[in-house]
Amino acid sequence: MINYRRALYLFVLFGLLSNIQLDAHTDDDVYDFLRAGKECYNKGLLNEAALEFENVLIIDKTNFQARIWLAQVYIDKKDIVNARKLLTEASMQAPDHPKVKELQKLIGESGMPVKPDLVDPVIAETIGGIASSTKHRKYGLVIPEDKVNEENLEKKLLISTREVFSEKTAVTQKLDNSRKETREFDKKFFDETSRNPLSPVFDAYKYHGLNQALDKYFELLMKDPTIASKDDRGLIDEGNKIYSLRYAEDPKDIDNRYYYGILQYINGLYAEADEILKPFRTNPGKYATSVIPYLNRLDKWREQENMRLAALKYEEEQRLAKEAEAKAKAEAEENDIWAKVKQKGREANKDKNSDLATVDKKDAEALHNDGYKLYKKGKLDEAIAKFNDALSKDGNNPEIHYHMALAWMDKGLGGDIAAYDKAIASYQKVISIAPDSKLAKDANTMINDIRQTKLSLGEMK
């Protein structure tokens, strides 16, 4: 019998190839899956919990809570590889989030974000066969509407957006439903009592309502960021559900904007929080005291994010520069410029090398040719050894010194910073042997390039 999930996945692939648009699911589905995932996790049903959280990520690839919970599930299952991938993505969203740091510490991560090895949740779930009992689920395997033209996940992690509600009547109906669910949440919330760092938050909710409970939570979070990893009894989930609707209904309302913006910060959606809270930078109003610490945190995050993007840009520029250099070398070999350099080198050093025996010159030339062939193949260490042997027989040959310098320079480009000094020494030998030659001019240019490279790397003062 064909596996249900695998068959459904094949159907999805067919849909992608034929540009069939699949039905999208709503924010309510996200909340349902999150709640179901947490319930399964608390019961020890790790496979079922993983399925719930993966479905959230299929609907909303930027959902921070689902990514963190799924990472926790993988850690409990001793699947460190997948846990590390999820935490890498989470660290790009919220590098200083306490829960990210806590889980990274469990698996020995440093907490520094790196470029992730992205994994499509649909493919990962299909291959892994996690929780194959899909037919018993209320929704089955959910597929997002934008699956056909999925954008790069890293870009979505940096600049995320929320779907805007187009029909006000539908929003109002959802808002009424959410208020009814809030009353049910209240009853469950009040039945639970426990003394912990969030007790003032729970008391505020019990006696004054959601807004004052969130105010107290926001206040405590600034004093002690680790409370973000504590059990809030569903308070933040409830706040997300209420204020996502209120903000969509009236984004100009200062209260809706404030609470929704801070909640997005707590959810790890820093880019979205930064955009929502932007008006408070010029006119914080009654929220001046409480919102400024969050704006400061977002400024710090934005600075780090800009540095990370600059590093990626520099890495790409270096890659392109190396490709251009390789192309230039190939063209130079095709034009046989080295044949001309050899001839000039022999003429400039004819008198200086007159005392060398003919056999030594022939041996040196043979070793030199062997070394240059190795150099062109990228076998730098072997090429350097051949050049040294050639110089032992013809030590005043500027061409050999020049090629030796090229080999050392390439080792420097490969990460061996000390090799740059050896390359400079070889180039200077060329200049001293044949100061008026083209090789000497090229050597001087190369020395200047190396010094500029070392300056950019901070190797020279």
pLDDT over 90 at 285, yes or no: no
Summarize the confidence of residues 192-211 as an average pLDDT.
79
- If one compares 413 and 398, the residue with the highest pLDDT of the two is 398
Domains along the chain with CATH numbers: 4-153 (1.25.40), 168-303 (1.25.40), 336-456 (1.25.40.10)
What average pLDDT does range 341-361 have in this prediction?
64
Q: How far is CA 328 from the centre of its chain?
A: 32
Coil vs helix vs strand at 317: helix
Stretch 208-225: mean pLDDT: 88
89, amino acid identity:
E
In the chain, % of residues over pLDDT 70: 69
Q: What single letter denotes the amino acid at residue 446? A: M
Q: What is the mean pLDDT of residues 347-366?
A: 69
Angle ∠(63,66,67) on CA atoms, nearest 5: 85
| Model confidence at 88: pLDDT above 90 | no
* Total Cβ atoms within 10 A of residue 91: 24
Give the whole-angstrom CA distance, residue 343 versus residue 365. 12
Question: CB–CB of 57/25 below 8 Å?
Answer: no
- pTM, two decimals, is 0.41
Given pLDDT bands bounded at 50, 70 and 90, which one contains residue 81? confident
Average pLDDT over residues 393-410: 90
* 125-148 mean pLDDT: 43
In the numeric block, which tokens belong to residue 169? 């009547």
Q: What's the token pair of residue 93?
A: 């969203």
Range name among 17-26, 205-214, 362-371, 378-387 with the lowest pLDDT average:
17-26
Asked if pLDDT for residue 173 goes beyond 70, the answer is no
Mean per-residue pLDDT, 123-151: 43
